[in-house]
Structure 1
Amino acid sequence: MKMKMTAFCLMMVSFFSTSGQEGNVVGHKIKTRWGETLDPLRPHQEYPRPQLERKGNWKNLNGKWRYTVVDQDQKEIPTHWDGDIVVPFAIESALSGVGKTVATNQSLWYQREISVDNSLRKGKVLLHFGAVDWSCDVYVNKQHIGQHEGGFDPFSFDITDVLKKGERQEIVVRVWDPTDDGPQPRGKQIRNPHGIWYTPVTGIWQTVWLEGVPTSYIAKTKQTPNVDESALFFSADIASARGDEEVVVEAYDGATKIGDWKTKHGVETKLSLPGISLWSPDHPKLYDLRVKLMRSGKVVDEVKSYFAMRKISMQKDDKGIQRMLLNNKFVFHYGPLDQGWWPDGLHTAPSDEALKFDIEKTKEMGFNMIRKHIKVEPARWYRYCDSIGILVWQDMPSGDLGGNAWDMHPGKISSGQHDKDRSADSEKMYRKEWRSIMDALHNFPSIVIWVPFNEAWGQFKTKEITDWTMKYDPSRLVNSASGGNFAYVGHILDLHNYPDAAMPDPGLFGKDFVLALGEFGGLGLPVEGHTWQQKDNWGYQSFKNGEELKKRYAGLVKDLHKLIPRGLSAAVYTQTTDVEIETNGLMTYDRKIIKIPVDELHEMHQVLYTY
């Protein structure tokens, strides 16, 4: 039953007036205030790559493109287009201006004519995609320049050689996405949305952009902090290196240079930084980097980046129980399950301000962590976590579900015999995208935990995948299977329990693994006028008003607090916002109402950090 909620028990988030962009947002579902003010000609205009910033010589290609949906067998570039679509919003979303679904036996094509002026063409021209779900082929001026598979990792193509004389160029993109008909990583998408499964996301859903770079250029940097050695380990990859280049790295605290070093292409270098401040949620200190590619004493290319000094580790306490340490001190991790869905943009936040809003509110509520649940966000989302001060547990998006048992509950663990037997193609898709995701996100210091599997959803070769993840990035902890079939691997034993707070048995598991409550809560409250559908909404436990919800939530926090002395190191509450028919969010799906006042949540949570 839905009831109107009074100002006494709700905090209303302020509304923006609509901007008059009528006709560009489709559908009858609820919308966010940012979606209501969207300029379809200029969505997401911000520089999209904060860890490798080469500003000034780039061009944002978001906005109106043409689209058509045709039979999957059609390989020729279409000559007819159905209409306009707003990039970077998936075709199923309201903000795309289309709101159509695409069947498994269909493909989605995009087309746009762009101008590439001479300032972008002094060296090479790169075409970048933040994310496209799932398989795409890219054509420039009718020439096929490449293919990419993977719905959550960024990719790019060098299009220099296919550009025509003059400024006008044509880009065409073909996308095919089997959603839950295929074994690829997909997260919560399903063709028949219901329960905890949501609307499909097909096509371009992150920023598309052009970049002009020198013939030899800095393609990637990798920076890994080492708190115990007061050092940052740094390397840079140079595209089209000739062998006579030198890389100069400068570190800054604001405008003050705190060190400079010289290195070579692909060589890891130790940057000693004695006395440097450590990053934490209470002190999210970031330092800037300037990286220069030099040849014969001249700057060939230059990029900006940043880093933070932080350490995540585990160690036994005086009771012999493993604790999760931040910078060698125990810090209890508490945060919401954050799925990153939007009623008008689906996987894509309606604006950069909206993207930041969820993180800001999470911090204001007194959380110090977010579990990013089976989704990967745009790079700017992680940049905000870095600067605002939020620890991130990063899930791998799940796929190829079904076919294996889920045998996880308090006090019992599995030996791994319930792993799914995935096909060679399915396994290849998983491994390729997981590695790409880890590579793309490595430099963001807020990410402290990798989570390869969730609740046995497609869980396979658990020990092998976990061991590989630990070896590939030893600077972070690995939670092998959040709430899934635990196979005595990784650093963390993670239990899911709804709605009450619970924990794995410290006597059985605490000496070997950090103990975590990976999901709990799920307290539901549908708010009239702010739900995805008019009826049949649900939570794991539902309430009639905000006061009842607040009282029950406060009880959960008290129960959680009692578990920390017994050995619990972390907990994840479900969830940040309502999502489609799930109404167990701390905020409504449209982000217009916060169900428990922010200041009261903040005060409740402080007791969790005093152990």
Structure 2
Amino acid sequence: MKKTNILLTGILLLPFTFASAQTKWAFVKDKIVSPWAEKVDPKAPLPEYPRPQLVRSNNWKNLNGLWSYAITPKSDNAPSKYDGSILVPYAVESALSGVGKTVGKDSVLWYKTTISIPSTIKGKDVLLHFGAVDWQTEVFVNGKSAGKHEGGFDPFSFNITSLLKGGAKQEITVRVWDPTDDGPQPRGKQVKKPEGIWYTPVTGIWQTVWIEGVQKSYIASTKQTPDIDAHTLTLNADVANAQAGDNIKVEVLDGKTVVAQQQFNAKETTVIKLKNEKLWSTTSPFLYDLHITLVRNNKVIDDVKSYFAMRKISMGPDANGIQRMLLNDKFVFQYGPLDQGWWPDGLYTPPTEEAMLYDIDELKKMGFNMIRKHIKVEPARYYNYCDKMGMLLWQDMPSGDLGNGWENRPGILDHGSDKDRTPESEGYYRKEWAKIMADLHNFPCIVVWTPFNEAWGQFKTVEITEWTMKNDPSRLVNSASGGNFYTTGHIVDLHNYPHPAMPRPDVFGKNQILVLGEFGGLGLPVEGHTWQVKNNWGYQNFKNADEMFKRYSTFTDRLAELIPLGLSAAVYTQTTDVEGEINGFITYDRKVIKMPTDKLLEIHKKLYNPALVK
């Protein structure tokens, strides 16, 4: 995203204050907050089961809540005294954390809590899970290291069984270092000095922390890939501590009816044949349930639930030979917003589940069928809800290590210069991108992987794109959305502000899908609902909603003209205002929808008219 115009407006709001049974917990910033902030329970924030694609629901405990925290010099050992309480899983810089402090590259953030192991878990191996921690993490249990992790957007876990001590109480300590934009690691839009399109740092735990009891041998993960042409689901399971002769039994369910089942060696991959399968689409998002068990000597050792969808994303030529983006072998124009996934009170973390789902629901009501998740990864429950709602997702890799040249002109896309990353920087990128793709593979809503955005840290473009395509042949790959163009990947992607445009069909359309990866950015500040008093901006600014809607409707008219010429998809900037940006459909605090939802739905309907493409 590029920054251009400036608009001045805004207001500061007084902080909210809440109390728990143990300690006073309060917002510490004079910023706007969402309506759900008042619903946050400091004794049980975000209590929902965090892993909907691998459910083992009886033997787990959510560890979110008030922990102790301290910020110390990077060279110091664990503190003997802590600074106060922090509400996990909200980043230390956020209002909902109750802290609202920055950390920076010269300091580290420490967490400490004491937990008890539930009786349902005793006698089992205990896994300690973190949904996401930004960035470099070391976890200690009862003073001993359980393990280290680098990556701000991917879940990780440690088997802490050997570190547990006798008695009910166990101490967990977490050390986090995050250099934000002073380091080469993937970090999205975080910067130490937020302004314009760059936002507040996010340091530390920002997704759910939980423990789980498992057997010595257990199903650690599964990989599920549908093929609607072959009428099959390919499935394999990663079994921890598998033994010779272990089997995996799979049941495929349509509601409560078993429609297919298979048993196979736990170390192998199976292909399950389906008959008269129901396809998943934006208008009919049907999901099959999976019941997966680990069987040893005819005895069930582990038992998990999952789900999948039969859907296909592909490319193919239309009657004019222009490549089109196809869903289940049919052209469906994909239209949705750029979605940053930021919150005024929780930053990366939505205040509640209800808040997180609100954004998706409102976009669906507005008539969008796609979201481009912009250089951020969401909690698993976000993708799960998109699966249920039939909302298509384009998933960006969070950018980092910026600084290379960029050329991107309307209609013609030129080479700039790939960045010469260090081996360390490249290693961070490859490790986290591979992990993100693996973690999100089973969510059918995701139809496009985007390794780079606007040449931000773009490097080895052809190699990275082909590596991504090989990693997941079941999805489309958009090598660099609006970035430096190379003839690689399935998609050629133009960014153009504010009005719609498209890559030239005569130059690119025979070999790649043509998309408008970003456009729009119409700005409208709403008094009392802006993050800051001044320096708010949009690509083109308006004084009222009527003027904004009138201009926006000319954009959708133009999109309807471009679709027959070869345009397969478009992404409007953006879902909500974010910090200094006031170019959202919805204000940052989610309290005002700027243009009428019913009017948006009406003008969007024409974009999905099959008659636009022969």
- Structure-2 residue corresponding to 1:239: 240
SS of aligned partner of 2:305: strand
- Following superposition of structure 1 onto structure 2, how do residues 179-198 of structure 1 map, counting pairs within 5 Å? 179-198=180-199
SS of aligned partner of 1:381: helix
Shift of 1:18: 9.5
Shift of 1:338: 0.3
Looking at structure 1, the residues matched to 451 and 150 of structure 2 have their Cα atoms a distance apart, in angstroms, of 19
Shift of 1:3: 8.9
AA aligned opposite 2:206? W
Match of 1:39 among 41, 46, 53: 41
For the 8 Å contact 2:9–2:533, the answer to whether it is kept is no
For the 8 Å contact 1:531–1:580, the answer to whether it is kept is yes
Would you say 1:565 and 2:569 are equivalent positions? no
- Structure-1 residue corresponding to 2:300: 299
- Structure-2 residue corresponding to 1:479: 478
Would you say 1:542 and 2:544 are equivalent positions? no
For the 8 Å contact 2:178–2:203, the answer to whether it is kept is yes
Q: How many residues align?
A: 596
- Structure-2 residue corresponding to 1:14: none
For the 8 Å contact 2:104–2:180, the answer to whether it is kept is no
- Structure-2 residue corresponding to 1:497: 496
Looking at structure 2, the residues matched to 318 and 261 of structure 1 have their Cα atoms a distance apart, in angstroms, of 42
Q: 1:19 to 1:363 in 2, by over 3 A?
A: farther
Looking at structure 1, the residues matched to 120 and 515 of structure 2 have their Cα atoms a distance apart, in angstroms, of 52
SS of aligned partner of 2:120: helix
Would you say 1:24 and 2:23 are equivalent positions? no
Shift of 1:115: 0.4
- Structure-1 residue corresponding to 2:410: 410
SS of aligned partner of 1:594: coil
Looking at structure 2, the residues matched to 254 and 369 of structure 1 have their Cα atoms a distance apart, in angstroms, of 26
- Structure-1 residue corresponding to 2:444: 445
Unaligned runs of 5+ in 1: 5-16
Would you say 1:354 and 2:355 are equivalent positions? yes
Answer with 534-543 or 335-344: which moved more: 534-543
TM-score, with structure 2 as normaliser? 0.96
Match of 1:72 among 58, 71, 74: 74
AA aligned opposite 1:491? H
Q: 1:505 to 1:450 in 2, by over 3 A?
A: same
- Structure-1 residue corresponding to 2:3: none
TM-score, with structure 1 as normaliser? 0.96
Q: 1:100 to 1:3 in 2, by over 3 A?
A: closer
Looking at structure 2, the residues matched to 143 and 242 of structure 1 have their Cα atoms a distance apart, in angstroms, of 29
AA aligned opposite 2:310? M
Shift of 1:535: 2.2
Looking at structure 1, the residues matched to 162 and 535 of structure 2 have their Cα atoms a distance apart, in angstroms, of 55
Instruction: Name the Cα RMSD after superposition.
Output: 1.4
Answer with 406-415 or 533-542: which moved more: 406-415
AA aligned opposite 1:531? T
Shift of 1:117: 3.1
Looking at structure 1, the residues matched to 181 and 295 of structure 2 have their Cα atoms a distance apart, in angstroms, of 48
- Structure-1 residue corresponding to 2:583: 584
For the 8 Å contact 1:19–1:37, the answer to whether it is kept is no
For the 8 Å contact 2:54–2:305, the answer to whether it is kept is yes
AA aligned opposite 1:51? Q
SS of aligned partner of 1:118: coil
1:480-539 residue CA offsets vs partner (Å, 9 max, x unmatched): 000000110000000000000000000000001100000000000000000001222110
- Following superposition of structure 1 onto structure 2, how do residues 123-162 of structure 1 map, counting pairs within 5 Å? 123-162=124-163
For the 8 Å contact 2:413–2:503, the answer to whether it is kept is no
Shift of 1:145: 1.1
AA aligned opposite 1:421? D
SS of aligned partner of 1:564: helix
AA aligned opposite 2:337? P
Answer with 169-178 or 117-126: which moved more: 117-126
SS of aligned partner of 2:26: coil
SS of aligned partner of 2:202: coil
1:92-140 residue CA offsets vs partner (Å, 9 max, x unmatched): 0000000000021000000000001332122210000000000010000
For the 8 Å contact 1:92–1:201, the answer to whether it is kept is yes
- Structure-1 residue corresponding to 2:4: none
- Structure-2 residue corresponding to 1:214: 215
Would you say 1:463 and 2:465 are equivalent positions? no
Looking at structure 2, the residues matched to 287 and 209 of structure 1 have their Cα atoms a distance apart, in angstroms, of 27
- Structure-2 residue corresponding to 1:102: 103
Q: 1:256 to 1:207 in 2, by over 3 A?
A: same
- Following superposition of structure 1 onto structure 2, how do residues 56-455 of structure 1 map, counting pairs within 5 Å? 56-74=58-76, 76-402=77-403, 404-415=404-415, 418-455=417-454
SS of aligned partner of 2:224: strand
Shift of 1:413: 2.9
1:44-101 residue CA offsets vs partner (Å, 9 max, x unmatched): 1000000000001000000000000000011x32110000000000000000000000
Looking at structure 2, the residues matched to 373 and 554 of structure 1 have their Cα atoms a distance apart, in angstroms, of 24
SS of aligned partner of 1:470: helix
Looking at structure 2, the residues matched to 491 and 500 of structure 1 have their Cα atoms a distance apart, in angstroms, of 24
For the 8 Å contact 2:8–2:536, the answer to whether it is kept is no
1:246-297 residue CA offsets vs partner (Å, 9 max, x unmatched): 1100011111111110112231111111111100110010110000011111
Looking at structure 1, the residues matched to 173 and 375 of structure 2 have their Cα atoms a distance apart, in angstroms, of 29
For the 8 Å contact 1:2–1:527, the answer to whether it is kept is no
Looking at structure 1, the residues matched to 299 and 321 of structure 2 have their Cα atoms a distance apart, in angstroms, of 57
Looking at structure 1, the residues matched to 9 and 453 of structure 2 have their Cα atoms a distance apart, in angstroms, of 34
- Structure-1 residue corresponding to 2:13: none
1:312-340 residue CA offsets vs partner (Å, 9 max, x unmatched): 00001110100010000000000000000
For the 8 Å contact 1:24–1:40, the answer to whether it is kept is no
Looking at structure 2, the residues matched to 358 and 18 of structure 1 have their Cα atoms a distance apart, in angstroms, of 25
- Following superposition of structure 1 onto structure 2, how do residues 508-519 of structure 1 map, counting pairs within 5 Å? 508-519=507-518
For the 8 Å contact 1:3–1:545, the answer to whether it is kept is no
1:573-595 residue CA offsets vs partner (Å, 9 max, x unmatched): 00000000100000000001100
Looking at structure 2, the residues matched to 220 and 355 of structure 1 have their Cα atoms a distance apart, in angstroms, of 25
For the 8 Å contact 2:225–2:474, the answer to whether it is kept is yes
Looking at structure 2, the residues matched to 316 and 391 of structure 1 have their Cα atoms a distance apart, in angstroms, of 21
Looking at structure 2, the residues matched to 123 and 56 of structure 1 have their Cα atoms a distance apart, in angstroms, of 13
Looking at structure 1, the residues matched to 400 and 144 of structure 2 have their Cα atoms a distance apart, in angstroms, of 32
Shift of 1:408: 1.5
For the 8 Å contact 1:235–1:269, the answer to whether it is kept is yes
SS of aligned partner of 1:276: coil
Looking at structure 2, the residues matched to 459 and 427 of structure 1 have their Cα atoms a distance apart, in angstroms, of 10
Looking at structure 1, the residues matched to 570 and 261 of structure 2 have their Cα atoms a distance apart, in angstroms, of 40
Looking at structure 2, the residues matched to 365 and 324 of structure 1 have their Cα atoms a distance apart, in angstroms, of 22
SS of aligned partner of 2:341: coil
For the 8 Å contact 2:293–2:303, the answer to whether it is kept is yes
AA aligned opposite 2:483? G
For the 8 Å contact 2:255–2:289, the answer to whether it is kept is yes
Match of 2:56 among 44, 54, 57: 54
Looking at structure 2, the residues matched to 121 and 426 of structure 1 have their Cα atoms a distance apart, in angstroms, of 42
AA aligned opposite 1:586? F
